[in-house]
Amino acid sequence: MSKTPIRVAVTGAAGQISYSLLFRIASGAMFGPDQPVVLQLIEVPFEKAMKALEGVAMELDDCAFPLLKGMVLTDDPKVGFKDANWSLLVGAKPRGPGMERADLLKDNGKIFTAQGKIIDEVAADNARVAVVGNPANTNCMIAASQAKRLTADRFTAMVRLDQNRAQAQLAKKAGVDLTEVANIFIYGNHSPTMFPAFKHATIGGKPAVEVIGDKDWLRGPFCETVGKRGAAIIAARGLSSAASAANALVDHVRDLMTPGKIHSVAVKSEGRYGFDANVWAGMPVKTTTPGSYEVIEGYDMCDFAKSKLAATNQELVEERAAVADML
Ligand code: NAX
C-alpha cells in the first residue's frame, strides 16, 4: 500500500531557490524514493509572481514525477499552510540598495510574524518548519514566538549551506575526497559571523587540525571563506546562491527525517554553548525520531572558539533587540 503523501508548503515558490528546490522535493530527494508528496506553493499576491508560479507548476507537471500527488498554488497563507507537515519558509524581502539591516529585520519580521501565527493555526499536528529567508535565524525566532500550539523545537533555521561549504573547503585544502571530512559543525548566525568549529572536525578519522597542519589558515582564510561565500557567489554570478541553497535545504530536512543523523541546525539555544537562551543559533544536533532531534552538547571550545561564539551571539542578541516589539 502506498504511503500517505507528506504535505510540503513552500513560500517564495516562484523565486530562485525554489526553482531548484521544488523539483528535488518532487523527485524524492527530500523524503525518499517511496514517499509521495503534495506541494503547497505560496507566493505574494501580485500578478507577476502568481503568473511565474503557474509557469513553475507547468514545468513540474511536465516532469511527470510519480511521487508528486498534487499541487496547490496560492497567495493566501491560510490555504498554503493548511495541514502542512513541513513548511519551508524560503520567501523573504531582499535587502534593497541603501537599506539598513534594522529595516530589513523589521520588514521581514512582519512577514514571519504573520506566517508563524498562521502555521500555528492551520498546519498539521506534526508540523515542522524550516526557515531559509534571511535573516534566517531571527526570522525563525519571530515565527516561533507566535506559536501557541507548536513548541519551539518545531522551528529550525538553515545553516546547512555553511556546513556544506566548510566541508568542501576542508576537503579541498587537504586534497582528499569530500566524504573523508566529518564532524564540521556551524555555530551561531547564518551570516559572516557564524563559526565553523574546525577543532572537532575529522579528515579520514584524524583531527582536521593535524591533517591540515596550518592553524593560521583554519583560523583566518578558512573561517573567512566560509563566512563570506555568499558574497563571493554574488560577485561571481551576479545572483545569490540558489542551487546550493536548495540542495542544503534538501539535506537539512532529509537529515531531520533520518534518525541517527548528526548535522548543523539553527535551533532555540536554551543557553547552550553560551548563547543567549532565546536566540536561534546553529549547533550540532542528532536526529532522534523523524522530525525530532537532540542538541549534542559538550564539545569543548578553546579561547579562539569562545571569542567567535561570543561575536556571533552578540549579533543574534542585537537582531533580537531590533525586533523586540514583535515577539
Ligand atoms: P528570490 O528573490 O529569487 O525569491 C524570493 C521569492 O519570495 C519571490 O518570488 C517573492 O515574491 C517571494 N516572497 C517574498 N515575500 C513572500 C511572502 N511573504 N510569502 C510568500 N512569498 C514571498 O530569492 P531567493 O534567491 O529564492 O532567496 C530567498 C531567500 O533565501 C532570501 O531571503 C535569501 O537571502 C535567502 N537565502 C538564505 C540562505 C541560507 O543559507 N539560509 C542561503 C541562500 C539565500 O541567500
Task: Identify the structural domains of the chain with CATH numbers, from first to last.
Answer: 6-157 (3.40.50.720), 160-326 (3.90.110.10)
The answer to whether 136 and 91 are in contact (CB under 8 A) is no
Residues 232-281 have pLDDT tens digits of 998 899 888 999 999 999 999 999 999 999 999 999 999 999 999 999 99
Pocket of ligand 1 (CB under 6 A): 11-12, 14-17, 42-44, 49, 90-94, 111, 132-134, 136, 158, 161, 190, 230, 240-242, 245
pLDDT band at 315 (very low <50, low <70, confident <90, very high): very high
Q: How far is the CA of 15 from the centre of ligand 1 (A)?
A: 6
* Cell output for 203: 579528515
Is the model more confident about 149 or about 240? 149
Q: Do 89 and 128 contact (CB within 8 A), yes or no?
A: no
Are residues 187 and 166 in contact, defined by beta-carbon separation less than 8 angstroms?
Answer: no
Pocket mutation for ligand 1, best pick of 134, 139, 156, 193 (most atoms within 8 Å of C-beta): 134
Q: Is the pTM of this model over 0.85?
A: yes
**pLDDT per position as a tens digit, 285-296:** 999 999 999 999
Could you give the CA distance from residue 212 to residue 2 in angstroms, rounded to a whole number? 48
Say yes or no to pLDDT of 1 above 70.
Answer: no
Residue 103: pLDDT over 90: no
Q: Which residues pair with 187 in a beta bridge?
A: 195
Whether the per-residue pLDDT at 95 is higher than 80: the answer is no
Q: What is the pLDDT of residues 22-81, one digit of tens each?
A: 999 999 999 999 999 999 999 999 999 999 999 999 999 999 999 999 999 999 999 999
Decide if 190 is catalytic: yes
Residue nearest atom 27 in ligand 1 by C-alpha distance: 17
Instruction: Say whether pLDDT at 100 is over 90.
Output: no
- Residue 169 is predicted with a pLDDT of 98
Determine the residue of 17, 56, 93 to mutate for testing ligand 1's pocket, defined as the one with the most ligand atoms within 8 A of the Cβ atom: 17
Query: Are residues 230 and 17 in contact, defined by beta-carbon separation less than 8 angstroms?
Result: no
